[in-house]
């Protein structure tokens, strides 16, 4: 298989509500919109990937999580908490050395906010 492009597809129960969350609360930039104006699909930039939020889905996604690396987990967690986002877990350093906090989107999809500390092996030049 020669994969040329990819993106995560999310089919929320209420696409407009979830699109507003990812665009306005998380602050993700819109890559493109498509489909009918009254029910557009949206594709967001997600670091080096893309997230498509369109639908609707018939049920809440189960067992899915989005891993989002950010510069400052504590600052993002506090900003999202203040905005009324559902907090699942406060920031803490995991045994593997990454700082993680968990929040949820409107359908309960877990968003794992991750910070890679300056001294973590992921930050070192591996040459």
pLDDT, one tens digit per residue, over 11-60 is 999 999 999 999 999 999 999 999 999 899 999 999 889 999 998 887 77
d(CA 68, CA 115): 9
The mean pLDDT value for 100-126 works out to 88
% of the chain residues with pLDDT over 70: 97
If phi over 0 gives left and psi between -120 and 50 gives alpha, with beta otherwise, what is residue 3?
Answer: beta
Confidence of residue 106 (pLDDT cuts 50, 70, 90): very high
Tokens (6 digits) for 13: 């129960």
For residue 104, what are the β-bridge partners? Answer: 86, 110
Pull the structure tokens for residue 89. Answer: 């877990």
- Please say whether the beta carbons of 19 and 29 come within 8 A: no
| Strand (E) or helix (H) holding 91 | strand 86-93
Q: How confident is the model at residue 6 (pLDDT cuts 50, 70, 90)?
A: confident
Do 47 and 68 touch, CB atoms closer than 8 A? yes
Q: Please, what is the average pLDDT of the chain? A: 91
> Distance between CA 34 and CA 54 in Å, rounded?
9
> What average pLDDT score do residues 68-78 get?
95
Q: Which pTM was predicted?
A: 0.88
pLDDT at 126 over 60: no
C-beta of residue 7 within 8 angstroms of C-beta of residue 48: no
Among 52, 49, 66, 48, which residue's Cα sits nearest to residue 12? 52
């Amino acid at each position: 298989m020669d994969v040329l492009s990819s993106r995560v597809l999310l089919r929320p129960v209420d696409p407009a509500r979830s699109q507003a969350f990812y665009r306005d609360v998380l602050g993700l930039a819109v890559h493109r919109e498509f489909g009918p104006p009254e029910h557009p699909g949206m594709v967001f930039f997600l670091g080096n990937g893309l997230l498509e939020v369109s639908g609707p889905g018939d049920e809440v996604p189960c067992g899915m999580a989005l891993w989002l690396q950010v510069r400052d987990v504590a600052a993002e967690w506090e900003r999202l908490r203040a905005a009324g986002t559902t907090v699942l877990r406060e920031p803490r350093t995991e045994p593997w050395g990454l700082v993680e906090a968990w929040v949820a989107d409107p359908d309960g999809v877990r968003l794992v906010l991750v910070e890679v500390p300056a001294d973590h092996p992921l930050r070192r030049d591996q040459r």
